[in-house]
Amino acid sequence: MAGKVVERHYFGEITHLIVEIPGLEKPLSVTETNDFGADDIPVGTSIRLAYDPEALVAMAD
């Protein structure tokens, strides 16, 4: 999925991103360990997201 980072919150070992995805009603909330460079992604960056369907955790509002 392609999207744009609209918020970024650094928490030491993890970074929490809010990503707007065209066609989705609400933005996605993504938490990533900083092992993969999420701490270096600035707001406004266009990114592509991929995930392991077996590791996905969906949460209600």
Q: Where are the domains of the chain?
A: 2-49
Residues 31 and 50: their CA atoms lie apart, in Å, by 13
pTM above 0.85, yes or no: no
For 8-61, how does the pLDDT look when each residue is reduced to its tens digit (9 = 90+)? 999 988 999 999 999 999 999 988 888 777 678 899 999 998 888 898 887 776
> For residue 57, what pLDDT is reported?
82
Q: Is pLDDT at 2 greater than 80 in this prediction?
A: yes
Other C-beta atoms closer than 10 Å to the C-beta of 6 total 13
